[in-house]
Amino acid sequence: MERVAVIGVGQTKYEKGKKQNFSEMVYEVTTKALKDAEITTREIDNIVSVSSDFWDGRTISCMAIQDAAGAFGKDTSTVEGDGTFGALYGMMRILSGSFGVTLVVAHHKGSESSMSGITNTAFDPLVERKLGIDAISSAALQARRYMTATGVTERQCALVSVKNHGNAMRNPLAQLPMEITVEDVMNSEVLASPLKKLDCSPVTDGACALVLAAEREAKKLSTNKKRVWLMGVGHCSDAYRLGDRDLADTRALEEASESAYEMAGVGPEEIDLAEVYDAFSYMELMWLEGLGLCEEGMSGEYMERGYFNMGGEIPINPSGGRLSSNPVQVAGLSEMAECVLQLRGKAGKRQVKGAKIALAHGINGMCGQSHCVFILGR
Amino acid sequence: MPFGTGENSSIEKQSEVRELGDWKDEVEEIVFPGKISVPYSWTVGSTLSKWYAQIRDDAEIWANKCAECGMVFVPPKIKCINCYRDMNEWVKLPGTGTVETFTVVSYYEPKIHPRKPPFVYAVIKMDGADTGLVHFIGGVKPEKVKVGMRVEPVFEKERQGNILDIRHFRPIA
Ligand SMILES: [Zn+2]
């Protein structure tokens, strides 16, 4: 099968209360990604945009940013979900043989609306929505279920927040770089037990764009220094209703990651760094097990041993993760951008030395209903 | 192939063109407040309509069972999520269950929360079913709620045919 490469990346700074509107953010990252790829809109054949109508407060929100994405007069299509699924769709379009160089661009402005109100509408209006459940309260149900099933402690989860906010200190794009302690996390305001404020990701604005190209075009347009290959991808979904799942079970992620490893022809032991979807601190520990990056129920202990720290066995979320900046939908795409920078050796002060293979993991739906896993390599 | 041709750009020659390099630093950013309020009427469908009617009229919680894999679902399913088979076997549940996980919510979002914090959500593994029901735990101090706690439903006196006809689940004395 032909390979697909990332030949350009562009990101905004991730922050709350951005002055730019949706289009201005998309202009910024599209321009940056094209400049990074050293191409112009003329070389872009088609565009995949990623956004959510509810977050944007307008229907067909993808259409409104098409000028900004350089899609005027071109083929364009949309994914409403995490950015990893947008990259997956872009990759599939290229592999179909019908599309050339593809721009994947995601935008999000969490600070313009209500996180609680919007995530509540993700629940079934016929059943759970009336209870008022939202992203934080449903995650709290999953957090306790995971802790009960595995014995992982709140303090071990707090370590994830300490590590990721600390990593963000070395990422100029991150929203919340902070030197904090486990005590700070444990003493932060309880939102929905066992989740405290510092176990939860912030409300963030930002955008990210990737330029994807098939092997032949990638080699023509870009240099070896810039190119990063999408070696493997896998995706899988679990049941919609929370009660139909065991919330501590990571079966969908196991399926997704196994197919990604198989396609890439590598195993979890070969991963040099990973960007894992830590919308909440416990999620990083849970997903690390589902990704096969540590044995089941052991991630808390590994975290204590510094296994996932910068300089540890496998640095997890060197960017600072979603705990430090969480532009929903954009998040997974920004993880891939971070992997690209790391694999190019251009991640600045947070560079994982000698990184050759990286993993990016996105989720869609409440409590990680579906997962998309990418393996990227030089 | 660009769509626009820039034919009108000659207008610039007649009008005043000013180069404002730093205008973005000085501009006053304007924000429009807005609100979207759209009425909907969501059709509940035959499976959940039957379920809600039984809660409303008889204060009974029913589930349905897959004839192929035997899995019992509450809320009931249109089709089994494992076998993709129609679900025609209905089972009356005792209504009791066990708290599988819970959270005490301390923040308040008046637009979505039907009650004031602190309140407790739980996934209740229902006796006689293989799935959990998400609902409130009440009739007990939030700090007393535990995983594994046995609970039973408390129904509202006036019932409308929706999930809030069950006021909450309370510990079995
Ligand atoms: Zn079945």
Of these ranges, A56-60, A74-78, B139-143, the one predicted with the greatest mean pLDDT is B139-143
- Asked if B34 is an interface residue toward chain A (Cβ–Cβ < 8 A), one would say yes
Phi first, then psi, for residue B168 (nearest 5°) are -175, 180
Pairing label, strands B150-155, B97-105 = antiparallel
Q: What is the predicted pLDDT for the residue at B8?
A: 56
User: CB–CB of B103 and A192 under 8 A?
Assistant: yes
**CA A292 / ligand 1 centre spacing (Å):** 29
- What number is the average pLDDT over the span A67-95? 94
User: What's the gap in Å between the CA of A124 and the closest CA on chain B?
Assistant: 10
Residue B72 CA, ligand 1 centroid: distance in Å: 9
In chain A, what residues touch B74 (CB-CB under 8 Å)? 243
The tens digit of pLDDT for each residue in A137-147 reads 999 999 999 99
B3–A72 CB contact, under 8 Å: yes
Residue B21: predicted pLDDT: 72
Structural domains of chain A ordered from first start? 4-113+204-228 (3.40.47.10), 115-202+231-377 (3.40.47.10)
CA distance A282 to A300: 9
Per the CB < 8 Å rule, is B109 touching A133? no
> What does the pLDDT look like over A292-321, one tens digit per residue?
999 998 999 999 999 999 999 999 999 999
Set of chain A residues whose Cβ sits within 8 Å of the Cβ of B136: 131
Mean pLDDT of all residues in A334-361:
98
* Nearest alpha-carbon partner for B118 in B95, B102, B132, B134: B102
Inspect the interface and report whether the beta carbons of B109 and A116 lie closer than 8 Å.
yes
Q: pLDDT category, A4, cuts 50, 70, 90?
A: very high
Distance A16 CA to ligand 1 centre (A): 46
Q: Which residues of B touch A239 (CB under 8 A)?
A: 81
Averaged pLDDT of chain B: 92
Residue B6 is predicted with a pLDDT of 56
Pick A133's closest partner by Cβ from B101, B121, B131: B121
Portion 178-237 of A in contact with B at CB < 8 A: 189-195
User: How far away is chain A from the Cα of B29, in angstroms, using its nearest Cα?
Assistant: 7
Q: Rounded CA gap, A174 and A232, in Å? A: 27
**Residues A213, A102: Cα–Cα separation, whole Å:** 6
pLDDT of B16 reads 67
Q: Does B59 touch chain A (CB under 8 A)?
A: no
H-helix or E-strand containing A22? helix A22-37
Distance from CA of A137 to the nearest CA of B (A): 7
Give distance in angstroms: CA of A368 to centre of ligand 1: 23
